[in-house]
Structure 1
Amino acid sequence: MRHAETVTFGGSALDRADTLRADQRALADAMSDPRSSVLALWRGRPLFAGPALDRLVRLPVGHAALDGAGEPILIGREDGCAVFAADISHWMPETAEEPSEDAEQRHPALPGDHAFRELRSSMTALGPRDAELAATARAILGWHRSHRFCARCGAESAAARGGWVRVCASCGGQHFPRTDPVVIMLVVSGPRVLLGRSPHWPGGMYSLLAGYMEPGECMEAAVRREVLEEAGVRVGAVRYLASQPWPFPASLMLGCLAEAESEAITLDPAELEDALWVGRTELLDVFAGTHPLISPPRAGAIAGFLLRNWLADRLD
């Protein structure tokens, strides 16, 4: 697919500095280098700046807002300078309640136009590099929060290799960041595409069918299984189109084109509230916001990316 890496969070050629991770002296030097920078996240929310909060902030190492943060995680290098991520979720704002998705949190040590904000709210405004940095930081810090204890013996583990491994001193176990593969399917039958709706989604929201891959399962088999389970539609040929890292919390969306061999829909009500075949003209109305039933796909998600490219005949 010609445009595969232009999807949100797609590759920006970030230098992930793998060799630096294992070099403790080099890591220490990077942490004391005034050219290095830190991405601060609060409860998984990156720090943004600007009137529209659409610019990812890089703080200098040692900034007051980072006081009390755990050991920074090395994200990569930009122009030869290290970029770290730090979790400052220990900071308690005046409102201790769990924030809504569109809430903004401002730290007293930061300028007034700086705020922590849910990544979904700003992801489409970010350039490829900032999007990749933010997605990586959110995913890796989230993994550290949820994997503090060794899965082998239950003892508390510690970060190593710049934050890309957790090592258990009790049993010697090593644990690596988790990414969950998810297939998302552009199921087509001639000039129509299959859309589905989860029972828990907002009104009008439809999307492509998707599901987690299972152990021992190849991508093509997962596509066929998920479509049959959720919608009762049999799928034949399957081919890969594009992928998207999705840091909510840590998935890799594998976009596939799937050719339907049947059209009758039999819903699994535990998975789908509705599913329907939509033609090209209808889909144009969806993207224009004039369809009477279906809302436009969520901006930034791979579902809309695949549907737009299907409409434009740019899947090859």
Structure 2
Amino acid sequence: MHKPQPDLPEPAHASVDSMLARKFGREVANYFSGSPLNRLGFLRADHTFLSKALRHPSTRFLLCRDLQPLIRTSEPDALAYVKYEDVKPIIGEDPYAKTEQELIDAYDSKTYVPQMIFLGVDEKDANGLEYTGKNTYKGAPYFAVDVSPKENVKDACEKLIAKVGEQGLDFAKGRVMDIKAADAAIYAAARQLLDWNARNPFCGQCGQPTMSVNGGFKRTCPPKDISYKVSNALPTTISTPANNTERPSCATRKGISNLSFPRTDPTVIMGIVNASGTKILLGRQKRWPPYWYSTLAGFAEPAESIEEAVRREVYEEAGVHVGRVVIHSTQPWPYPANLMIGAVGQATPAGETIDLGHDPELDDARWFDFDEVRHALRVGTSGLDESAGQEYTEGGLRLPPSTAIANQLITSVVNGFVSGEAKM
């Protein structure tokens, strides 16, 4: 089945005239970017703000079960939200009633605390919360809450899941790539932060359980644990009584490196043109549908610039030598934690020969004429699990959908990005 693709985010400040816009064209905004929320990251440790945001009438809560977001079955292209009263049985009366330090001091690793993320505020909502700290901020707060039925909140989660089901709501299936762009950006942040917290329940230095802080954007290794008994690890002495809750020392509690931060993996993805600027290099993996090709991509390695990563990946996968590399645009990719850094590079005159013998990742790689690619962009784009459009003829080139940065790179290249004839 071929699905219509959602519109992409509107580029930031698209109507503002500037030297950069005149020279390079307007900014490219890819799917999963362009969030309508102001993250207000500097307020994540302000428990007074979070407490008020939690219970404000304008506040929206995005429920996620096994990282899948809540949507309306009658309107599957948009996220669905619930109110504070709906999630209160799961998160409690006010998880932000105490300061962050007070919560750390009272840490109990044996008590499961549902993961919640403060996503930001929608400043366009005239009925939003108005909060004055060092400055005044106004907007409707957004939170994400993990309602996967677990431990002490299992019954409360199951009741809420049943309740929203009766209201015509359900959790999305598979990769969420067909909701409207603004909602996709909100979900991308929610999914990535919920996933990161779930993957990092223990300290990487001492192995002890960690605690989510800073609105879900950091994890800390508390020095105390109500459930921890020193007798489990050390002999009891007069100075270390059995009811002592002090945990063993940990390097993460010293100096400035006392927190764990969400990971983002830089990944290069590149549209490579030949030396004469008339063809684009595309590759395919064995598991992809027949005739479905895309741009090459790979993870950037430590101590490697983005430009170097582009050259290395293209050489390793296709044997092609790349000269000049420029950055085109980027795309958050929350599966699970990538930042796709889109680049355009040009092969050196003597380095265009394709050789798949270095790295067995690709099943095939070819140079495609721009005209063939432009035709495929019009009739043959789709997701991997979807059929091509009605105008597609079997045997023709197929390409990724517009929600993928690969599509945007390909489109820009074949429409003059390298030659400078078109600014996109």
Q: TM-score range by the shorter chain?
A: 0.7 to 0.9
1:193–1:277 CA contact under 8 A, matched in 2: yes
Alpha-carbon separation, structure 2, partners of 1:66 and 1:44? 20
Give the direction of change, closer, same or farther, for the CA distance of 1:309–1:109 in structure 2 (3 Å limit).
Answer: same
Task: Specify which structure has the higher proportion of strand.
Answer: 1
Q: Which of 246, 256, 259 pairs up with 2:346?
A: 259
Q: TM-score, normalization: structure 1?
A: 0.88
User: SS of the counterpart of 1:25?
Assistant: helix
Question: Which residue pairs with 2:231 in the alignment?
Answer: none
**Contact conserved, 2:73 with 2:170, CA < 8 A, in 1?**
no
Counterpart Cα distance in 1 of 2:87 and 2:339 = 34
User: RMSD between aligned alpha carbons?
Assistant: 2.3
% of aligned pairs identical?
A: 36
Larger Rg: 2
Q: Trace 1:1-316 onto structure 2 (pairs within 5 A).
A: 2-12=25-35, 14-63=37-86, 67=90, 70-79=114-123, 80-90=139-149, 107-110=161-164, 111-118=166-173, 120-121=175-176, 123-127=177-181, 129-170=182-223, 171=250, 172=253, 173-189=258-274, 190-261=277-348, 262-267=351-356, 268-287=358-377, 288-289=379-380, 290=392, 292-313=395-416, 314=422
**Cα pair distance change 1:40/1:214, threshold 3 Å:** same
What is the aligned partner in structure 2 of residue 99 from structure 1?
Answer: none
Output the CA distance in 1 between the equivalents of 2:150 and 2:172: 15
CA distance in structure 1 between the partners assigned to 2:266 and 2:285 by the alignment? 20
Number of residues of Structure 1 aligned to a counterpart in Structure 2? 301
Residue of structure 2 equivalent to 1:101: none
What corresponds to 2:101 in structure 1?
none
Amino acid at match of 2:345: A
SS of match in other structure, 1:120: coil
| Farther-moved stretch of structure 1 (152-161 vs 197-206) | 197-206
Deviations 1:124-149 (A, max 9, x none): 4413x312111100111010111111
1:87 positional shift? 0.9
Q: Could you tell me whether the CA contact under 8 Å between 1:16 and 1:77 is conserved in 2?
A: yes
Pair 1:13–1:57, CA change in 2 (3 A): closer
8 Å CA contact 1:243–1:255 kept in 2: the answer is yes
Structure 1: gaps spanning 5 or more residues:
93-105
CA distance in 2, matches of 1:5, 1:216: 27
Q: Measure, in 1, the Cα distance between the counterparts of 2:399 and 2:89.
A: 39
Residues 91-145 of structure 1: CA distance to partner in whole angstroms, max 9, x if unpaired?
Answer: 79xxxxxxxxxxxxx9321145311114734x34413x31211110011101011
Specify the code of the residue in structure 1 equivalent to 2:259.
Q
Uncovered stretches (5+) of structure 2, i.e. residues with no partner: 1-23, 92-112, 124-138, 152-159, 224-249, 381-391, 417-421
Flag the 1:279–1:188 CA change in 2: closer, same or farther, 3 A: same
Distance 1:91 1:285, change over 3 A: farther
Question: TM-score, normalization: structure 2?
Answer: 0.66
The CA deviation string for residues 33-59 of structure 1, in whole angstroms up to 9 with x for no partner, is 222111111111111115241111121
Task: Give the Å deviation of 1:65.
Answer: 9.5
Q: Measured at CA, do residues 28 and 119 of structure 1 come closer, stay the same or move farther in structure 2, by a change above 3 Å?
A: farther
Is contact 1:44-1:118 (8 Å) kept?
no
Could you say what secondary structure the match of 2:207 adopts? Answer: coil
Partner AA of 2:273 in structure 1? V
Judge conservation of contact 1:188–1:259 (CA < 8 Å) in 2. yes
For structure 1, which segment, 237-246 or 78-87, has the greater mean C-alpha deviation from structure 2 after superposition? 78-87
Tell me if the contact between 1:40 and 1:59 (Cα under 8 Å) persists in the aligned partners: yes
Q: Name the amino acid aligned to 1:54.
A: D
Asked if structure 2 preserves the Cα contact closer than 8 Å seen for 1:8 and 1:124, the reply is no
SS in 2 for 1:8: coil
Deviations 1:292-313 (A, max 9, x none): 1532313411001111222333
**CA-to-partner distance for each residue in 1:6-34, whole Å, 9 max, x for gaps?**
31122235300112201012111211222
- String of CA shifts for 1:235-275, please: whole Å, max 9, x gaps: 00000000000011110000001001122111145211110
Tell whether the 8 Å contact from 2:35 to 2:186 is kept in structure 1 after alignment.
no
Runs of at least 4 residues of structure 1 off by over 4 A?
none
Rounded to whole Å, the distance in 2 between the matches of 1:26 and 1:65 is: 18
